[in-house]
Amino acid sequence: EVHLLESGGGLVQPGGSLRLSCAASGFTFSTYDMSWVRQAPGKGLEWVSAIGGSGGRNTYHADSVKGRFTISRDNSRNTLYLQMNSLRADDTAVYYCAKDRGSGWYNFDHWGQGTLVTVSS
């Protein structure tokens, strides 16, 4: 059974940094593209970042986080990461990791339970 477990969220001041992790199990992690998707309180879903499977050479970021967030993965640890720098109040959201189903990018078939990031002074 596929399982995705995010961690690393919390309260951080504007301008601060945070690293989110997503521990994956139940599938061959290195084979699948992965993404981070966020949801601000009471709002809709926003794709944030994506990374290719083996090697993770291909990475993509939404314009809203480009230059501030970096997605990476450690296939030996079955873990996805999101390094978030220069955080702003509008980055406050629940951050979900999502697994692609393997038929092209951005077809999410499993999601984690999410981790809340709050950016506030």
Nearer CB in complex with other proteins: 27/60: 60
> Is residue 113 a contact partner of residue 97, using CB atoms and an 8 Å limit?
no
Q: What is the binding site for other proteins (CB under 8 A)?
A: 35, 37, 44-47, 50, 60, 62-63, 96, 101, 103-109, 111-114
Measured from the CB atom, the residue of 16 and 64 that comes closer to other proteins is 64
> Is residue 68 helix, strand or coil?
coil
Q: What are the helix and strand counts (H, E) for the chain?
A: 0, 11
What is the nearest approach in angstroms of other proteins to the Cβ of residue 44?
A: 5
Quote the Cα angle for 60-36-62, to 5°: 40
Two structure tokens written together for 22: 């997503």
Amino acid (one-letter) located at 105: W
**Closer residue to other proteins in complex, CB, 23/62:** 62
Shortest spacing between CB 108 and other proteins, in angstroms: 6
Least distance CB 43 / other proteins (angstroms): 9
The nearest distance, CB 84 to other proteins, in angstroms, is: 17
Q: Which is nearer to other proteins, 13 or 31 (CB)?
A: 31
**Contact (Cβ atoms closer than 8 angstroms) between residue 20 and residue 81:** yes
